[in-house]
Amino acid sequence: MEETDREAVATAVQRVAGMLQRPDQLDKVEQYRRREARKKASVEARLKAAIQSQLDGVRTGLSQLHNALNDVKDIQRSLIDVNKDWRQSINTIENLKDVKDAVVQHSQLAAAVENLKNIFSVPEIVRETQDLTEQGELLQAHRKLMDLECSRDDLMYEQYRMDSKNTHDMNLIHIYFGDMQKLSEELAKQLWMVVQRSLVTVRRDPTLLVSVVRIIEREEKIDRRMLDRKKQTGFIPPGRPKKWKEKMFNILDRTVTTRIEGTQADTRESDKMWLVRHLEIIRKYVLDDLLVAKNLMVQCFPPHYDIFKKLLSMYHQALSTRMQDLASEDLEANEIVSLLTWVLNTYKSTEMMGNSELAPEVDVNSLNPLISQNAVDQLLSKYMSTLTSNIIGWLRKALETDKKDWIKETEPEADQDGYYQTTLPAIVFQMFEQNLQVAAQISEDLKMKVLLLCLQQMNSFLTRYKEEAQLYKEEHLKNRQHPQCYVQYMIAVINNCQTFKESIISLKRKYLKNEMEEGMSSSHANMDVILDTIAKEGCSSLLDEVFMDLEPHLNELMTKKWLTGSNAVDTICVTVEDYFNDFARIKKPYKKKMTVEAHRRVVMEYIKAIMLKRISFKNAEERKEGAERMIKEADQFRFLFKKLTAGSEEDTEGLCDIIVAIAEVIKLTDPSLLYLEVSTLVSKYPDIRDDHIAALLTVRGDASRDMKQTIIETLDQGSSQPNPNYVPIFKEITVPTLSVPKLLK
């Protein structure tokens, strides 16, 4: 209360302060006081009225509670009186049992009289029903059957009410109406035959299917009525509930299952494409059946049957069972592909469940998988295992076939640009392409796995290819006349390497995602290395072939015969050019390298001939003649390789300049300038060694031992700055070791 008082005082102070903010407001103090007094009086009056109203309400409530208590006591006294009266009337009710029995008997007799006509006409109605059933008049036959059942059920019910334990009379009624059960079974057979052929019947005679559905609906209503009566009385007629609706769906389910299973017309032994045919027939049948169900059958069934949805579920379940059975069989690789493609793609595609005519009733996204993921994984694992084995076998067979071509006496085929080639790359990558296309039909993940497998097996295959190319070369060296087209087929092997490279890049570009490329880059690089090695060894073997033919002519260089007018270099140039006419069929990346290598080896062999010291010039005239011949022959080599590398940016003159530089040393007439000339040679070609200089001075023939020693020692003390573009050549040229001791003695 103190807190409330303080708040009230504070509020009053605030209100007064708000009223008296200006001096002129002091004149209105009395007016303000009267106004506040009126407000206070008004509030007090309202409070008094509210309190009075609450008191009146409480007084009224207490009065009503008092009246209610008196009413409850009155009711209690009345219930006591009723209880006494009820107990006194029990004996009177027991005395009325005979009356009750008479009422029941009267009811039974009334039912018997009512059904008397039907009871006497049962045999006749049975015959009529039988005839109507045989004639296909199913609705009329069922109507009469319903009348018979109604008569029997009413009689049995009255008998049950009178004496439920009297089984003798019950059996008597049941026997009398015994033929009716056979009629019901016969009619049911007719119904199930129509249901089994419903997809055909709905096209030819939809009214027959409608009649069957109406009969089933009648029986469902009777079943429900009988079950309700059983809950009340405990009685239910024999044969009830018939559950014909449930049986109808069971018949449809078995019919669908039989239709799916019956589409397999062939076996693997009779037709390798048995599974493809089987799956295609299933696809066509299921699509046709569902279209008929959607467009025609739905109109023959009540909406609450939801017949299309139920048939869709039946077909899906039957297909799932069939696909699981097929998946559990020992399928071959192509059969696994066919099955998985159908299950994962075809089933939900526009060719089947995704068909526009089935929409919107069929939502492919809501359909469960036909086979489990575990079964799919097992099939994929088996497929990959089989495919691995097959690819290894195919690659081995392709290589064996290619090897047989290598020993043919006819040249290999050439592509549109004239380059020799064999069919190996085309066969290999056609096989890869086919398997990748097949895998892509199943899933993106399987496509990646197959691509990785192909590249892995390609890696192993190229290693075997390299070994076989080496063996091919070794066998040829045993007898250079065999095989006859060795050069041409070795060129084809070299070209195949380039084709393999291009095909690998094309395959990866077509089937590999960018994010996956990094994971396969090392494998790709390894294949490139192997292919380059095969091509390099092939080019080397072809050059070996050239230089084996050139060997006799190379042996004539820097000899007395050479000095007196040998045409060895002419022959060398003609032979090299002749070989390179064939080498023109090598693809550019390797042909270019091969030409450069041939140029280098020719020059190297020429320099080797100089360093072998086969000749020692006797006088300045011979030195001049020999040097001029060397310069002339260098020009021949330069012209030859310029011709062979026409259109190329390769330096074809630098190597021949070495021969010219050596010729200048030999040609020098003033021995006192020999050191200067040799030092110039060494500065240009810093890999030249002492034994090379010694051999060169020996060929020159006019340098004394002391001069040779002085020149070599002086050159050793100097330092030379090599040309950064110079490719060493002298380091690969050896000088016979015996010549150095003889020189330095």
Per residue in 468-490, pLDDT (tens digit) is 999 999 999 888 888 889 999 99
Residue 32 has what pLDDT?
Answer: 75
Tell me the pLDDT band of 45, cut-offs 50, 70 and 90: confident
Q: What's the pLDDT band for 551 if we cut at 50, 70, 90?
A: very high
pLDDT band at 331 (very low <50, low <70, confident <90, very high): confident
pLDDT value, residue 252 = 92
Predicted confidence at residue 669, as pLDDT, reads: 87
Averaged confidence pLDDT in the chain: 84
Q: d(Cα 522, Cα 515) in Å, to the nearest integer?
A: 14
Between CA 702 and CA 617 the distance in angstroms is: 8
Q: How far is CA 66 from CA 56, 57, 61, 62, 714, in A?
A: 16, 14, 9, 6, 147
Q: 143-159, pLDDT tens digit by residue?
A: 877 777 777 766 776 66
Cα separation values, 435 from 378, 390, 429, 440, 517, Å: 19, 11, 10, 9, 19
Q: Decide: 466 and 535 in contact? Cβ < 8 Å.
A: no
Distance CA 156, CA 100 (A): 19
507-513 average pLDDT score: 83
Rounded mean pLDDT of 362-390?
A: 90
Share of the chain above pLDDT 90, in %: 28
- The better pLDDT of the pair 277, 267 is held by 277
Specify the amino acid at residue 65: L
- Tell me what pLDDT residue 743 has: 41
Reported as a single tens digit per residue, the pLDDT across 338-373 is 899 999 889 888 899 988 888 888 888 888 899 989
Residue the block writes with tokens 């159908």: 342
Domains of the chain (ranges, CATH numbers): 32-242 (no CATH), 248-371 (no CATH), 404-540 (1.10.357.50), 557-732 (1.10.357.70)
Q: Chain-centre distance of CA 83, in angstroms? A: 84
pTM of the model: 0.66
Q: Is 90 exceeded by the pLDDT of residue 317?
A: yes
Mean pLDDT over 576-592 rounds to: 89
Residue 744's pLDDT is 40
Res 250: pLDDT: 93
Question: Which of these, 326, 319, 383, lies nearest to 352 by C-alpha position?
Answer: 319
Per-residue confidence (pLDDT) for residue 647, from 0 to 100: 54
Band (pLDDT 50/70/90 cuts) for residue 653 is: low
Q: Which of 210-219, 520-529, 718-727, 728-737 has the lowest mean pLDDT?
A: 718-727
Report the largest interatomic distance among the alpha carbons of the chain, rounded to a whole angstrom.
171
Which pLDDT belongs to residue 722? 59
Alpha-carbon distance of 323 to 335, in angstroms, equals: 12
Decide if pLDDT at 717 tops 70. no
Residue 305 has pLDDT above 70, yes or no: yes
Range with lowest mean pLDDT among 74-78, 80-84, 127-131, 318-322: 127-131
pLDDT the model gives residue 40: 82
- The per-residue pLDDT for 603 is 93
**pLDDT of residue 636 exceeding 70:** yes
Residue 283's closest CA among 358, 219, 383, 387?
A: 358
* pLDDT average, residue stretch 456-469: 93
Please say whether the dihedral angle defined by the alpha carbons of residues 544, 546, 552 and 554, taken in this order, is positive or negative. negative
Q: What is the pLDDT of residue 742?
A: 41
Terminal alpha carbon distance of the chain = 138
Q: Decide: helix, strand or coil at residue 420.
A: strand
C-alpha triplet 303, 305, 308: angle, nearest 5°? 85
Give the tokens for residue 24. Answer: 């002129």
SS (H, E, C) 611-637: HCCCCCCCCHHHHHHHHHHHHHHHHHH
Does pLDDT of 137 surpass 60? yes
Task: Please say whether the beta carbons of 345 and 447 come within 8 A.
Answer: no
pLDDT number for residue 719: 54
Q: Which residues is 420 bridged to in the sheet?
A: 414
- The answer to whether 687 touches 730, Cβ cutoff 8 Å, is yes
Residue 517: pLDDT band (50, 70, 90) is low
Band of pLDDT at residue 740, cut at 50, 70 and 90: very low
The pLDDT of residue 721 is: 59
pLDDT in tens, 686-715: 889 888 988 988 888 887 788 888 888 877
Confidence of residue 671 (pLDDT cuts 50, 70, 90): confident
Rounded average pLDDT over 496-506: 91
Is the distance from CB of 352 to CB of 346 less than 8 angstroms?
yes
How distant, in Å, are the alpha carbons of 53, 142, 207, 356 from that of 400?
Answer: 117, 78, 70, 51
What confidence category does residue 718 fall into, taking pLDDT thresholds of 50, 70 and 90?
A: low
Selection from 390-399, 509-518, 652-661, 665-674 with the highest mean pLDDT: 390-399
| CA separation for the pair 171, 152 (Å, rounded) | 11
In degrees, rounded to 5, the angle at the alpha carbon of residue 129 between the alpha carbons of residues 127 and 134 is 95
pLDDT at position 569, please? Answer: 93
pLDDT value at residue 741 = 41
